[in-house]
Amino acid sequence: MWTLVFSQLFPVFHSDDQRCHLDAYQLEGMVQPGDIMIGVVLPLHFGRVYQKVQFQEKPPRTTCTMFHLETFQQVQALQFAVQEINKNSNILSNLTLGFQIFDSCNVIHNELQAVLQMLTGLGSAIPNYRCHQGVPLGGIIGSASSTYSMMLAHILGLYRYPQVSHYSTSRLLSDKSKFPSFFRTVPSDYFQSHGLVKLLLHFGWTYVGLLAVDNDYGQDGIRLVKQELTKAGICVAFTEYILTREPNHNAPRIVQVIKETPARAIVIFSTDPDLLPVFQEMIKQNITGKIFVASEGWSTSSMYLSNRFSNLLSGSIGLSFYSGTIPGFEHFIKKVHLSLEQEWIKLFWEETFNCRVFNKSVTDYISTSEKECNGTEDLANIQNSYTDVSSLRITNKVYTAVHVLSKALDDFEGFISQDGSHIEFRNFKPWQVTSK
């Protein structure tokens, strides 16, 4: 039956007068050419406009909001790492490393489309085809979300494309039978769950509430914490989930539960943007007197450093990734200027200097400022999460991921097959890199 169906459909795809195709828009990104490419998926925006889909017309493009300065810093770290590698004659000698970066806007279908575009090698995503034969794809860096990383790993794992995540911590991703070509530069949540329980025991909190985002990261993370709490004899007052599919993230109900519970300590397994509506609702209802125990997903977020959250988060504690330094990076990031004519730089400029870049290309993000950016603004006097290099955590993990992937490609360059023949580097198969 399947043979018959395919034989009937095949002429439709290849007929000169009738072509079947998916009318999907192309994601905007940043590209630097090279002899070998790496793909990168990052959430440059952390929010989006929720739009109702009536299924009577083509769904609208995602409108992105909340430009994230820390992620833009990570983009710069990636470029800095590639520059270092290309200047180093001991790594990928006689070859240049290039990259292609897409902004996922923290939306799952954008993550999928970005990876398919990178695998295809063209603007339009064509599953199972690599159209850009001249320049091989060496691997993918991403995603920042455990749930999204799992989805991408199922696709990339089919051909063993190396995937290195800088932020996906779910212990489920450690299963090599399901995710054979997935790697990461951060530890598993298995270790974090033990650490959070030890933290609770240290302070003598024996009656706690649990709050988690409703994805693989939050659900599995809070499940691990709950198991360890039970072993330690700590009682759980409630378990609630942040519903990201809803515009208000279920915040009114969550806050009502927090308001009524006698538990003072609340363990929160979430990322910073997903947690924002809950904290906003708590401020609105003037909820105080709670101690929040934070997972690494939001414990060091700059999103909550303003005075607006000071009363709410006073006394909060949590775990975080260890920080690192990148020599020469501070000078590099301050060379960014509006004159470089790159769309993400324009968005960064608007966010940093509270001005509006006129005559820019159409993007999903529009500045509300009436002041025009004139290009004379100076980053030297700016202090924000982009210019702060004193404690590089996730940025350092992105930097490390680039070097890890380039080292794997460098080790493969002299690969000799079992029959003793040398394999041409440009013609390598992705599974040969992961096999090393």
Mean pLDDT by 10-residue block, N- to C-terminus, for the chain (436 residues)? Answer: 38 39 62 92 88 78 89 97 95 89 91 90 70 80 95 93 96 95 95 94 96 95 94 96 92 96 96 94 94 95 90 93 94 92 91 83 53 89 92 96 93 58 63 74
Torsion angle, alpha carbons of 107, 111, 113, 119, to 10: 180
Residue boundaries of the structural domains of the chain: 23-186+327-435, 189-318
State residue 424's pLDDT score: 62
Q: Tell me: the pLDDT tens digits for 241-283?
A: 999 888 899 999 999 999 999 999 999 999 999 999 999 999 9
Question: Domain 23-186+327-435 in CATH: superfamily?
Answer: Response regulator (3.40.50.2300)
Share of the chain above pLDDT 70, in %: 86
Equal CATH topology for 23-186+327-435 and 189-318: yes
Enumerate residues 6+ apart whose C-beta is below 8 A from 165: 141, 142, 143, 144, 149, 173, 182, 183, 184, 185, 186, 401
pTM summary value:
0.86
Q: Tell me: the pLDDT tens digits for 375-427?
A: 899 998 899 999 999 989 999 999 999 999 999 988 875 554 555 555 566 56
State residue 180's pLDDT score: 94
Provide the CATH number for the domain formed by 189-318 in this structure.
Answer: 3.40.50.2300
